[in-house]
């Protein structure tokens, strides 16, 4: 074999041409192998990410072109590979989205900065997504970003409901604080006016008796009788105030029917101008929990208080009904929120009148309709306020599911 120094010019040219051809062939093989390897990796990536039931796609960070998309992405948006993300995945965009994280994914040295998350609403799907974006180097050496979107629409709805509920609870607590202060002032005035007058009268009678020598005179005997009547009146007032403030002692001793009848009788005595009736449809009294009995008491008390203050009614009825499940199925309408609730009995407390009923402005003197509803909800019940044809006015109806278990009892 000749040395390079011994080759002629023609032979050197021929050798160089052969070398270039060999080099071209080698480069072509490398390119082909690289393409096959890339295609194989893309195929594996496709199989893996198609399993993910959320949109996942990859974009070029320079021009926002979509390089790859999983099956879920194409189910939602159609064929997207080769198109710019803001044109295909959004609606009405004239350029890069305001919430785009691409500028944040690389630092000044073109190094990935980690995961960046955003939450946005996609107007095409009308769903909310939490997006997690991260930069990496694509097969051709360019910088790309993988973008994973998780549908959080239901979470957003639940969060809004929770926020609304918290705001309502906050407002309710503020109202309750004001209410407690009003009730304290009212109680103070009632005690001052009623008990103050009675105490003054007793004092005057006692002074007269102390200065009188004739213990058998008509005046002496009248003063003695007056003191007895005033003391009875004072004791009744104290008991009435005590029961209104804390009726649990009374509630614990009585059945629900007797408890409601006693409350109704007391109210009727103070409102003798109103035609009032009670109806109890109870075959066998259930042993209700004390808190539930107090809830029934408070609902009836609140409704009657509002009737006397605001309704201007001439007819009032209170009904307490206890249905077994068979009878309850006839009472509950289709679509009622309690139809699917597990129960053995249905408890109903209804207060109806022929007056104006509740108004939003009528709640200052008591807990009001919304507080009554809150008490009912605590036990899985529902509070209705609706027209009542029977009396020609309004009725407040509280329904509670009751589950009686073997060897014990349970409500709600």
Query: Domain check: are 184 and 140 in the same one?
Result: no
CATH no. for residue 240?
1.10.287
Query: Domain check: are 209 and 327 in the same one?
Result: no
Q: Is it the case that residue 128 has pLDDT exceeding 90?
A: yes
Domain boundary among 151, 168, 183: 151
Q: Is it the case that residue 123 has pLDDT exceeding 80?
A: yes
Lowest mean pLDDT among 57-66, 220-229, 347-356: 220-229
Percent of the chain past pLDDT 90, that is, above it, reads 24
Count Cα atoms within 13 angstroms, Cβ side, for 305.
16
Instruction: Give the dihedral sign, CA 26/29/34/35.
Output: positive
Percent of the chain past pLDDT 70, that is, above it, reads 71
pTM (two decimals): 0.49
Query: Domain check: are 238 and 123 in the same one?
Result: no
pLDDT digits (tens, 9 = 90+) for 351-392: 999 887 555 444 444 456 777 787 788 888 888 888 888 888
Q: Give 351-373 as a DSSP string.
A: EEESS----GGGGTTSSHHHHHH
Query: Domain check: are 269 and 388 in the same one?
Result: yes
Q: How many domains does the chain have?
A: 4
Query: Domain check: are 280 and 241 in the same one?
Result: no
Tokens 């192998």 locate to 33
- Most confident of the ranges 36-50, 174-188, 291-305, 325-339: 291-305
pLDDT at position 363 is 46
4: DSSP letter? G
Query: Domain check: are 26 and 160 in the same one?
Result: no
Query: Domain check: are 142 and 106 in the same one?
Result: yes
Query: Domain check: are 254 and 394 in the same one?
Result: yes
pLDDT digits (tens, 9 = 90+) for 258-297: 889 988 988 888 888 888 888 888 877 788 888 888 889 8
| Mean pLDDT in residue range 124-136 | 93
Query: Domain check: are 252 and 387 in the same one?
Result: yes
Q: Is it the case that residue 410 has pLDDT exceeding 70?
A: no
CA-to-CA distance for 56 and 146, rounded, in angstroms?
Answer: 7
Strand intervals (E) in 94-174 = 116-122, 127-137, 143-151
User: Nearest Cα to 305, choosing from 356, 362, 245?
Assistant: 362
Sheet (strand 56-60) strand order: 66-69, 56-60, 143-151, 127-137, 116-122
Query: Domain check: are 24 and 38 in the same one?
Result: yes
CATH no. for residue 132?
3.30.450.20
In Å, how far are 71, 117, 134 from 57, measured between CA atoms?
10, 15, 11
pLDDT at position 1 is 47
pLDDT at position 272 is 86
Query: Domain check: are 314 and 185 in the same one?
Result: no
Range of the domain at 235: 154-245
Q: Is it the case that residue 404 has pLDDT exceeding 60?
A: yes
């Amino acid at each position: 074999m000749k040395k390079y120094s011994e080759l002629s010019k023609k032979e050197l040219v021929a050798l160089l041409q052969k070398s270039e051809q060999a080099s071209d062939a080698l480069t072509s093989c490398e390119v082909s192998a690289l393409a096959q390897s890339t295609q194989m990796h893309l195929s594996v990536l496709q199989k893996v990410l198609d399993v993910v039931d959320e949109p996942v796609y990859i974009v070029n960070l320079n021009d926002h072109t979509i390089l790859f998309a999983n099956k879920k992405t194409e189910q939602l948006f159609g064929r997207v590979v080769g198109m710019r993300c803001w044109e295909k995945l959004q609606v009405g965009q004239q350029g890069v989205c305001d919430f785009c994280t691409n500028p944040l994914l690389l630092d000044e040295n073109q190094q990935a900065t980690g995961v960046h998350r955003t939450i946005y609403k996609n107007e095409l799907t009308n769903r909310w997504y939490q997006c997690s974006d991260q930069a990496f180097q694509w097969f051709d050496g360019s910088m790309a970003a993988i973008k994973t979107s998780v549908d959080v629409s239901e979470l957003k709805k639940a969060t809004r409901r929770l926020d609304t509920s918290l705001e309502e609870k906050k407002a309710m607590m503020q109202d309750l604080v004001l209410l407690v202060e009003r009730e304290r002032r009212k109680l103070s005035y009632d005690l001052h006016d009623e008990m103050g007058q009675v105490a003054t009268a007793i004092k005057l009678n006692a002074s007269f008796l102390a200065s009188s020598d004739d213990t058998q005179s008509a005046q002496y005997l009248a003063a003695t009788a007056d003191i007895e009547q005033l003391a009875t009146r004072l004791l009744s007032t104290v008991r009435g105030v005590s029961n209104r403030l804390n009726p649990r002692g009374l509630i614990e001793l009585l059945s629900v029917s007797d408890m409601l009848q006693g409350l109704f009788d007391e109210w009727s005595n103070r409102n003798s101008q109103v035609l009032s009736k009670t109806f109890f449809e109870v075959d066998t009294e259930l042993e209700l929990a004390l808190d539930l009995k107090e809830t029934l008491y408070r609902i009836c008390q609140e409704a009657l208080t509002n009737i006397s203050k605001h309704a201007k009614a001439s007819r009032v009825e209170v009904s307490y009904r206890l249905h077994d499940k068979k009878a309850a199925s006839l009472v509950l309408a289709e679509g009622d929120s309690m139809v699917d609730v597990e129960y053995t009995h249905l408890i109903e407390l209804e207060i109806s009148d022929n007056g104006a009923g509740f108004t939003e402005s009528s709640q200052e003197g008591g807990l009001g309709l919304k507080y009554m509803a809150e008490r009912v909800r605590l036990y899985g019940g529902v509070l209705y306020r609706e027209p009542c044809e029977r009396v020609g006015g309004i009725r407040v109806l509280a329904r509670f599911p009751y589950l009686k278990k073997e060897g014990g009892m349970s409500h709600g």
